[in-house]
Every structure is written in structure tokens, then in C-alpha cells.
Amino acid sequence: MQSNGTATPGATGIRLGRRGLLKICGGVAAGALASPLLSACGKSASSASSGGGGATAEVSIFTESATYEGKLDGYVGKWFKDKVNTEVSVVPNSVGGTSRFATRLSTGNLGDLIVFTGVDDLKQALNANLLLDLSTKEKELPNLFRFKDAIARVKKVYDGKVMAMPSAVCLDSVISKTDPVVVPSMRYDYYKELGSPAIKDYWSYAQVAEQMVAAHPTTENGSKFYGLSLFSQWDSTNATQLRTISQSMGWTGNDGVNAYKFIDIDPLGKRTQVLIEEGSIYLQSLKWANGFYRKGLLDPDSATQTWDDYLKKAQKGQSALWVFGYTGDLNFNPANPDLTAAGKGYKRISNDSMKAADPMTSTFGSSWYWAVTKKAKDLDGTLKLLNFLYSDEGGFGFEMGPEGVLWKRNSEGIPTLTELGKQDWSAAIPADLGGGKKSDTFKSRVNGPTLDQAWPNPTYKIPANYQVWTDYLTSNASALDKQWTQDHGGALNMKELLVKNNQLAAFKPKDVPAVSYDDQLKVVANQVGNAIKQYSWKMIYASDDATFDSLKNEMVSKAQGLGLDKCVDFEKKTAQTFFDAS
């Protein structure tokens, strides 16, 4: 607590921030699927009606998933003012990585609404008797109570009470249209130069990457071109990027409610696999990356570069393959419009064995929650705001805001981007629309999705996530995108292709309780995870098979010595509950 003597801002903070972020990103990445927000009540009337007369309500939101602090102003602020006559202020839990939840909770000072990113803190708030039972306010919250599955889920856990409302809810499970992170992106023009070779399985990307590097040792701007570039900054209990590879084979580390540190689960085949068991996909992934290293194809900075450094490489296009697919098509391509106009750049490239694990939208909601505190100063205003957020209209505006600013409905009533909507996120919004910058969204400032963003909103017929709007995909397509579409039978994005080719292992999230390690096991899990993470990277950088194997053996015996089995048992039990649930 002592103020930090000589540090400049930035010191501790960022670092922790990254960890926190990681979680957020993980959430977002793993789950383009679980994404929240749009939606619907049959009666959009409930949402559209304005707050009417009376004084403007002031409501504060304590959020665990964003870092903005202050009033919600700009065009989004105007939206809430117009719709529910409310001024919203935001208090982030984490400032530079220091969580304020525990200290604030010790005096109950947590604002009117809370966005929880997990059950741990939610449980603590319940223990402290801070939360309001929403079932007593059913009349004021019709937009929440229309999500029967989600309500039933919390009632089951809290003895018929609704102590919190799951985030990212929807009314039916559908396959999202977002590209899975795990389908890698590669230089598409180089791929075509090679004659668009068939790729047997994930491991075969290595040969293609090798050939690409042989043909193009440097990038257009003269930087070195590697076969594979990785980064380690977001790792917590394993080499995160390599761990996600199993998702391309139908396995996942996240069932939509619970995340697994030490096992992968196969939601459809109801199997589990310990990350470091003999022959596991994770071990194969390490071996695969090690193969790049031994051929001199791995970016040597992989273990040491930060996410910032990694992004710089992405924008320069320094890797033939990006494990997180979006790193290529969504980072390099927009930064190099001249190349994409010439048909050059990164596109997602699937393989013959691809079976991408992909959670469908969840009627039970995600593992994030909204809750109302008993200390809410203006309870009516608070409930009115929450109800609006869960309306079709409120949910749809999570990222895109109110109708008429970034989007409008076309003649068929389908949302399309306005000119403003097509601009860069730093674009200014005219004062008569509310002002501020385009990026001042509810998503960036509060990040508490109410409706699932991937779920087609009943009122607007399409998902809130503009990146899957047909209008966006077609009007925004570069020569490169058009070429890819032409080569792939008219598919607009990879997801469409995967569905068509039956390469998607879409699974329904289920109504399982959120579990967490108890405090003591958590300490053990962190230690085991640290060991696995460190050995994984050493294995990636191993100089020969013998070293690789002996490191692997050391990793296994060390992890077991620290208590891996206890953690695995715990996670397998969680997985079994998931498999058994209907």
C-alpha cells in the first residue's frame, strides 16, 4: 500500500494488466463463440420506450472486464440518456492489474451494478451479503426473465433465487459465423504459388511453411521471413498458442462455462486427454514447433517477445503461418492495403483433417454475470438500465451502439454499416450524434455483454457482431478476399466453408455449475502450470530428439511431484459433469 516510490506509471501495472487481459482475451478468443449480446425480447417496445420524465438516474457499474474509468459519454452515453434517462459511470476492478475487488468488498463499496468475470468473486460478494435477489424484481426485469434457461440455471444454484444474471444469453443454440481462432492464416499468394497443395493434417503446415520460406527468405519490406513465430506473454499454465492447436482436432480447453488448465476435452466424443500424457496433442504440438526450431524456421525471439513486439511482426508479415489465425488476416491485411489490393496477404487455410471445436451460442449464458447490489442508490434507475441492456436493442448495441450512428437498417430492415461505421475506430463522432470517438463503445468501456453477440437478434435478424454481416464481408472485401472467395466456391469466410465441408465440431454449451479450484489446490495448480509452461518452451528450443525427450520426462516427473494428478482428477470430474449433462 505504500505508494510505490520511484516507479513511473506503467511499471507493475502493465504487467499485471497483461495477465488480466489475457484472461479477457482468452474469453473473447476462445469464445467468439460464447460471445454475448444481442437480443431480444419480443417486445422491443420495452426497450425503446424512453425513461420518460423525472430526474436523470445516476448508475455506476463496477466491471471486472474493462479498464475504462469515468462517465459513459459520447454517442453511447447519449443513447442511455435518450432511452432510459440514465447517466452511467464506470469503475473498473483492475487498474493496471491491481484488483480492487477484495478491498472494495471488505467495505461493500462496489457500485450499483457489477459485471463479474467468474464465479469466484461472485461467491465472495454473496458471502458478504451484498447482492440483490433479482427474482423479487421480476416485474421490473421482463427482458432478463425471458431467458428461461439462464434464469433456471441460476435458480438451481441459488435455491430459487436469482442472485446474478448470466451474461451472453440467447434463446436458442446456433453455430456462430465467426472464424475459429484455431484455423491458421498463411500467406495466400505464396500458397497459390506452390500450387495450393493439399494439406493432410495440422502438422503438414510445416512443410508448406518451409517451402514458402525457401521461396521467400525475406518479406516485401526486407525483414526476415520465418516459418513460425510465437509469443509467450499470455502463457499461464502452458504454451498457450500451441495448446490451442488441439482445437483444430475437435478438442477444447473450455466447455463454455469452465476452463481447463491441464486436460483437453472432446465435447462430442466425451473424452478427456491430459495435456502432457504420452502421445497427447499438446506434446505433438511442442514437437511440431521444435521441428521449426531445428530447421532454423522458428522466429528466435518467440520466447522473449511481448505481445506488442509480436504484433509488429504480424504487421510486417514475418511468419509464414500464424497459429492464432486472426494475427494474419486481421492484423497484417488491414495494415497493408496496397498488398491486399494486389491479391497478396494472409488468409485462413484449412487442412484435410480439420475438425474445429466450436461452441454454439448458449441459452444458459456464459461464465460471466451481471448483478445488482443491495446498496444501489437509485434502484429503479438501476433496474431500468439493466432491463434495457438485456433488450434486443440494448444487446445489439453492445459494440455497435444505437441505430443511426454506426449502422442503419436497409430497406429490408437488416442492419448495414453507415459511412461512419466503415471508418477507422479512432474516427470522431459528430456532436449531434453524441460526440466522442467511434471506439467509445459499451464493449470497450464496460465489456459486459448481455446478449450473445453471435446469436441472430430476433429484432434485427442478424448477429450483433458486424464482422459476420454479409454486407460487411462483401463491401469490405479486398482483391485478396475476392480471390479467396472465388477459389472457395463463393464462401465469404472460413466458418462458412467449415460448415459446408463438415469440418466443424460444433458443440452445445450445457447447464453445468461453474466450479473453481479451492484456494489450496489453486496454489498447487499454479506451481504445476509454471513447471509445464517452462519446460514446454525449453522443449520448443531443444537441439535434438534426446534433449527433447529428456526435458519431456523431467517435465512430467516434476509436474507429478508438484501435484499434477490432484489437479487432473479435479478437472476430469468437472469434465464428467459436463459430459453427463443433457
Partner 1 sequence: MTIPTTTSAVPPIQNADKLLVASEPAKKARHRLRRAPRHIAPMEQRSTGEKVFQVFNVVVLVLFAFVCLYPFYYIFINTISSNQLSASGKILFWPREIHFTNYAEIFQIPDIWHAFLVSIERTVIGTGLTVICSAFLGFMMTQRKMRYRTFVYRFFVATMYVSAGVVPVYLLFNYIGLLDNFLVYVLPGMVSAFYIVLVKTFIESSIPETLQEAAEIDGAGTMSLFFRIMLPLMGPILATLAIFTAVGQWNSFMDTVIYVTRSDLQTLQYILYRYLTQSTALANSINAGGGSMTEISNTTQTAQSVQLTVTMVAVLPIFMVYPFMQRYFVKGITIGAVKG
Partner 2 sequence: MKKALSTPNKLLLMVSPFVVFAFVFHYLPLAGWYFAFVDYQPGSSPTEMPFVGLKWFRALISSQEQVHTILRVLANTLGMSFLGIASSILPLIFAIFLYELRSSKLRRFVQTVSTAPNFVSWVLVYALVFAFLSVDNGVVNNVLTRMGVISAPINFLISSDHLWIKMTLLGIWKGLGWSAIMYLAAINGIDQEQYEAAAIDGAGRFKQTLHVTVPGLMPTFFVLLLLAIANIINTGMDQYFVFSNAMTADSIEVLDLYTYNTGIVSGNFSFATVVSILKTVVSLALLFSVNRISKSVRGESIF
Residues that bind partner 1 (CB under 8 A): 1-10, 12-14, 16-18, 20-21, 24-26, 28-29, 32, 35, 66-70, 91, 95-100, 102-103, 106-107, 109, 178-179, 307-308, 311-312, 315-316, 324, 326, 330-331, 334-335, 424-426, 439, 444, 447, 465, 467
Closer CB to partner 1, 18 or 192, in the complex: 18
State in angstroms the smallest separation of the CB of 337 from partner 2.
Answer: 24
| Residues numbered 17-36 forming contacts with partner 2, rule: CB under 8 A | 19
Amino acid at 388: F
Exactly one of 49, 136, 470, 520 binds partner 2 (CB under 8 A); which one? 520
Other C-beta atoms lying within 10 Å of the C-beta of residue 306: 15
Closer CB to partner 1, 247 or 391, in the complex: 247
Beta strands in 303-420 (DSSP E): 319-322, 346-348, 356-359, 369-372, 407-409, 415-417
State in angstroms the smallest separation of the CB of 484 from partner 2.
Answer: 28
Question: CA quadruple 290, 295, 299, 303: dihedral positive or negative?
Answer: positive
Give the interface segment with partner 2, choosing from 44-52, 127-135, 282-290, 363-371 (CB under 8 A). Answer: 127-135
Exactly one of 318, 333, 361, 367 binds partner 2 (CB under 8 A); which one? 318
The answer to whether residues 91 and 111 touch, using CB atoms and an 8 Å cutoff, is: yes
Closer CB to partner 1, 143 or 219, in the complex: 219
Closer CB to partner 2, 122 or 473, in the complex: 122
Using CB distances below 5 to 8 A depending on partner kind, what does residue 129 bind out of partner 2, partner 1, none?
Answer: partner 2
Closer CB to partner 2, 237 or 483, in the complex: 237
State in angstroms the smallest separation of the CB of 304 from partner 2.
Answer: 4
Closer CB to partner 1, 69 or 82, in the complex: 69
Closer CB to partner 2, 67 or 178, in the complex: 67
Helix, strand counts (H, E) of the chain: 25, 20
Q: H or E segment at 70?
A: strand 70-71
Q: How far is C-alpha 292 from the chain's CA centre?
A: 28
State in angstroms the smallest separation of the CB of 92 from partner 1.
Answer: 8
| Residues numbered 72-101 forming contacts with partner 2, rule: CB under 8 A | 99, 101
The answer to whether residues 438 and 423 touch, using CB atoms and an 8 Å cutoff, is: yes
Tell me, residue by residue from 545 to 564, as one string, x for binding to partner 2 by CB under 8 A and - for no binding.
-------------x--xxx-
Q: How far is C-alpha 396 from the chain's CA centre?
A: 18
Closer CB to partner 2, 110 or 492, in the complex: 110
Q: What single DSSP character describes residue 54?
A: S
Dihedral pair phi/psi, residue 94, rounded to 5°: -105, 125
Closer CB to partner 2, 107 or 502, in the complex: 107
Amino acid at 66: A
Dihedral pair phi/psi, residue 17, rounded to 5°: -55, -40
Q: How far is C-alpha 224 from the chain's CA centre?
A: 31
Please report, for residues 5, 6, 11, 100, 191, the alpha-carbon distance to residue 2 in angstroms, rounded to integers and kept in the order given.
8, 11, 15, 15, 56
Using CB distances below 5 to 8 A depending on partner kind, what does residue 549 bind out of partner 2, partner 1, none?
Answer: none
Task: Report helix, strand or coil for 271.
Answer: strand
The answer to whether residues 262 and 568 touch, using CB atoms and an 8 Å cutoff, is: yes
Closer CB to partner 2, 158 or 579, in the complex: 158
- Is 526 near partner 2 (CB under 8 A)? yes
Using CB distances below 5 to 8 A depending on partner kind, what does residue 25 bind out of partner 2, partner 1, none?
Answer: partner 1
Exactly one of 209, 538, 555, 575 binds partner 2 (CB under 8 A); which one? 538
- Give the cell for residue 538: 525449453
Please report, for residues 90, 163, 396, 437, 454, the alpha-carbon distance to residue 63 in angstroms, rounded to integers and kept in the order given.
7, 17, 19, 21, 22
Question: CA quadruple 547, 229, 263, 502: dihedral positive or negative?
Answer: negative
State in angstroms the smallest separation of the CB of 474 from partner 1.
Answer: 18
The length of the chain is 582
Q: H or E segment at 63?
A: strand 57-63
Q: Where are the alpha helices (DSSP H) in 368-441?
A: 379-389, 392-400, 419-422
Using CB distances below 5 to 8 A depending on partner kind, what does residue 577 bind out of partner 2, partner 1, none?
Answer: none
Residues near partner 2 (CB under 8 A) are 6-12, 14-15, 19, 99, 101-103, 105-106, 108, 120, 124-125, 127-130, 223-224, 232, 299-301, 303-306, 308-309, 313, 318, 519-520, 522-524, 526-527, 530, 533-538, 541, 558, 561-563
